[in-house]
Amino acid sequence: MTTDIPTKTRSRWVELVEIIEDARRRYYLHDKPTISDTEYDKCFNELLDIESKFPMLKSLDSPTQSVGGARSEMFEPVTHLSRMYSLDNVFDDQELKTWLDRIDKDLGQTPHYLGELKIDGLAVDIVYRNGLLSSVATRGDGTVGEDVTYNAQFIPSIPRALTGKPPSLLEVRGEVFFELAQFDQINSELEKSSKTEFANPRNAAAGTLRQRVDRREEEVAKAQANSKSSEKRLATLRTELDDAITILQKLRLTVHGIGAVDGAKLASQSESYQLLKDCGLPVSSHYQVGMDPIKFVTYWQEHRHDVEHEIDGVVIKVDNFELQRKLGETARAPRWAIAFKYPPEVVTTKLLDIKVSVGRTGRITPFAHMQPVKVAGSTVEMATLHNEQEVIRKGILIGDTVYLRKAGDVIPEIIGAVESLRDGSEKKFVMPIVCPSCKTNILAVKDADVDLRCPNAKSCPAQLIERLFYIGSRQALDIEGLGSKAAAALINEGILKNEADLFDLTEASLIGSEFFTKAVSAGSKSNQINMAGEKLLSQLEIAKTRPLWRILVALSIRHVGPTVAQTLAKEFSSLQSIISASGQQLASIDGVGEIIAESISEWFSIDWHQDIVKKWQGAGVSLEQTAPKLLSDHLTGISVVITGSMPGYSRDGANEAVTSRGGKVSSSVSKKTDFVIVGANPGSKFDKAQELGVPVLDADGFAVLLESGPSAARSHLGLS
C-alpha cells in the first residue's frame, strides 16, 4: 500500500473537502449554491477516488465519512458520530443514595458532581465542522437519528457559526423545547384556528421540529411557477409556510453534553460547558458544580415550576472525565450519570359535572367537566371517564374535589375523590337514557356490551359531526380543512345533511355560513368565503384522488380501519368489486375473517350507505384502485432490501425505482432476499446480507439492476 501522499494529491484533497463542505452547508442552510449538482457529484467522486488510493485520508474529517456520505434529505437516517446513551433513573432519595454510595465504592473517593435540570423536550445531536453548522439530527435509537438540519436552521438559538476558538470537530448534545409561555400561546392559537392542540410541551417540540417545511417551500415554488395556479392558492400556501416557520422560530435549544470532539482537550463536564458557552452555544443557567446531589434534587423538586420550561427531573453527573471513563457504561446508559425523575404531578380540582359525549359509532362516553387547572404543562378542564362502570369504580360524585394527573404526561385522568372535602351536596352520576344529541333512546347493541350506543347512525348530529371529522383525519382522507370545528359547522349550520353530499360542496353552498364566510364588519357577512372555506374546497378536490383504501376507511365501516382497508384494496381493484364480493370471499382473505366480512356486507346493504357511495362517485371521487405506473417489469418477483443512503435517490425514491419496475422492497434481510442494495453508511443489514450470502449491490450495481434486470446485476458482481 502507498504510504506517501504526494503534496499535490493532499492539497487537492483539502480543496475538494472545502468545496464539498461549503456546498453542503449552503444546501442545508438554504443559501445560494456555488456549484451545480453535477459538479458536486464530480467533486465527491473524485474525493472517493483519491481516498480509495490513499485510505489514510479517509479521516473523520472527510465528508465521505460524515452524515450520510451524500447530501441527505429531511428525516433521512443519520448515524451519530458517537453514541447517544440514555440515562438510568432513580425515583426517590433512597435510590439516589444507593447510587451515590456505589460511585464512592467504585471510585474509592467521593467525586465532584454536576447537577442540571432535565428539560422535558426533544433530544438532538448537532455537529459543527470547522466552527460551522454541519448537521442536526434527532436522537433516534441513540445510534441513528433523523436528519432535521433543514428545519433546525430556522431555530435562532442554534448558531450557524460558532464564536471564539471552536474545535475543528464538535458534536454537541442538547434538548430542543418550548418555554411554557410559548407553549400556551401556541396552543391557544391552535385552538382559535380549530386545530388539535398539543398535549404537552414535549409533543409540541417534536411535532414542530418534524414539520415538512421543505415540502411547503416546494409547493409554494411550484404554485409560483405554474401560471394557472390562483393567487388565492398561492397566498394560502405562503401563509401556511410562514406559520410553519414562525412556530419553528419559537423553539429553543439548551446544550448539555459533548459527543465526538477533535481539536480540544477537556478534563471535565464543567470545562466542556465553559467551552460550549465560549462557542456561543446556549448552556442552561441552572446547572451547578460541586453541589450536594440530595440538596440539589430537593431544591428543584420544590421549585420545578419556577423555571421557564417544563422539567421532569434533574440529572446528576460525575464532573471529571477521567473518573467518568473509570466508571464506564452499561449497554444502555453511562454509570457516571443518573436522572432523578420527579413523580408525575397530581393536582386537585372541582368536578363540576359529568356529561356524556356521542362518538363516531354512536358510543356514549361519560366525561368529566372540571374547574380548569394546570397540570403537567397545560390547562385541563375535561377528562374521559370511559363508561358508567368506570365512574362507579372511581367512586366520584358530581361536586367532588378530585385528584387529577396526566397518564403518560398526555391524557388527563381522574384518580379519585378527596372524600374528606365532601359536604353532602355532591350528587351521583346517572347515565342518561336518551342520546344528548338526537334524543333517541340509547341501548347496548349486544347484551354483553359495557358500552351504550345511540342507534340513530343516519341522522344523529353528534355522530354525523364525528364521522365527517374522521373522513378528514389523517388515517382516512387527510383533508386539512375538515377539522372538528369545520365538521361541526357543516352539520350544525345545515350545510350538509350527511356525508353523502360532502364532495358536492361548492362556494355557493358555503356562502352565508357563520364559519366559512368572511366577516366584513362586526355582525355582517360578505358574499365571499373565507380561508377556512377555500381550504376545505381545495382539499376536497385533492381528496377525490386518494387511494382506494383511504376511501374505505372514510366510510366508517365497523372494524375497517387502515390495516384492514389496505388488505382489501390489495385484493380488489375497485370499491364495486368489494361490494359485489360474497361474504365467503371476503372472509377467506387473510386478515379479514368472518366478523369483519359480515360487518362489510351489512354496511353496504343499507340504502343510505349505498346513497353515500353513489353520490361520492357522482362527484368524481375515485373508487378504483389506481395501479402504480410500471416503467418496466424486469424486476417482477425480485425482492430487495435497501440500506444506507443511495446517491441520487431519496429513501422513497429508491424504493419507487424498484417497485415501478415490478420489484418488491422489504425492510429486513432473509434468505428470500434477492439483493441487498448498500448505500453510504449501511446499517446491520449489510452484515446480515454477508452472513446469509445474499448478493450485495453498490450504487453502480443498483443502476445495472434497474436498467437491465437481475441477471445483468448478478454478472456485474461476477456471479452466474
Active site residues: 118
Q: Which residues contact 157 (CB under 8 A, 6 or more apart)?
A: 251, 252, 253, 282
Cell of 610: 349505498
C-alpha–C-alpha distance, residues 236 and 225, integer Å: 16
- Cross-strand pairs, 338: 316
Closest to Zn ion by CB, 213 vs 438, is 438
Cell of 85: 446513551
C-alpha–C-alpha distance, residues 71 and 73, integer Å: 7
Q: Do residues 542 and 536 touch, judged by C-beta distance below 8 A?
A: no
Q: Do residues 71 and 138 touch, judged by C-beta distance below 8 A?
A: no
Residue type, 553: V
Q: Do residues 160 and 170 touch, judged by C-beta distance below 8 A?
A: no
To Zn ion, the closest distance from the beta carbon of 456 in angstroms equals 5
To Zn ion, the closest distance from the beta carbon of 448 in angstroms equals 22
To Zn ion, the closest distance from the beta carbon of 449 in angstroms equals 17
DSSP state for residue 398 in the 8-state scheme: B
Closest to Zn ion by CB, 151 vs 437, is 437
Alpha helices in 54-152 (DSSP H): 93-107, 149-152
To Zn ion, the closest distance from the beta carbon of 608 in angstroms equals 15
To Zn ion, the closest distance from the beta carbon of 250 in angstroms equals 41
To Zn ion, the closest distance from the beta carbon of 459 in angstroms equals 8
DSSP state for residue 5 in the 8-state scheme: P
C-alpha–C-alpha distance, residues 491 and 496, integer Å: 6
Closest to Zn ion by CB, 133 vs 460, is 460
To Zn ion, the closest distance from the beta carbon of 440 in angstroms equals 5
Q: Do residues 160 and 154 touch, judged by C-beta distance below 8 A?
A: no
Closest to Zn ion by CB, 193 vs 441, is 441
DSSP structure string for 192-236: HTT-PPPSSHHHHHHHHHTS-HHHHHHHHHHHHH-TTS-HHHHHH
Closest to Zn ion by CB, 283 vs 438, is 438
C-alpha–C-alpha distance, residues 604 and 613, integer Å: 9
What are the start-end ranges of the E strands in 151-204?
169-177
Q: Do residues 385 and 366 touch, judged by C-beta distance below 8 A?
A: yes
Closest to Zn ion by CB, 23 vs 438, is 438
Provide the CB-side half-sphere exposure for 178 (13 A, CA).
Answer: 27
Provide the CB-side half-sphere exposure for 251 (13 A, CA).
Answer: 30
Closest to Zn ion by CB, 355 vs 525, is 355
> Is the sign of the CA dihedral 253, 257, 260, 262 positive or negative?
positive
To Zn ion, the closest distance from the beta carbon of 364 in angstroms equals 9
Which stretches of the chain bind Zn ion, using CB under 5 A? Answer: 435, 437-438, 454, 456, 460
To Zn ion, the closest distance from the beta carbon of 90 in angstroms equals 51
Alpha helices in 84-179 (DSSP H): 93-107, 149-152
Q: Which residues contact 258 (CB under 8 A, 6 or more apart)?
A: 170, 171, 172, 173, 266, 272, 275, 276
- Cross-strand pairs, 348: 403
Closest to Zn ion by CB, 362 vs 533, is 362
Closest to Zn ion by CB, 168 vs 459, is 459
Closest to Zn ion by CB, 455 vs 647, is 455
C-alpha–C-alpha distance, residues 665 and 676, integer Å: 10
- Cross-strand pairs, 434: 441
To Zn ion, the closest distance from the beta carbon of 26 in angstroms equals 59
Q: Which residues contact 684 (CB under 8 A, 6 or more apart)?
A: none
DSSP state for residue 420 in the 8-state scheme: G
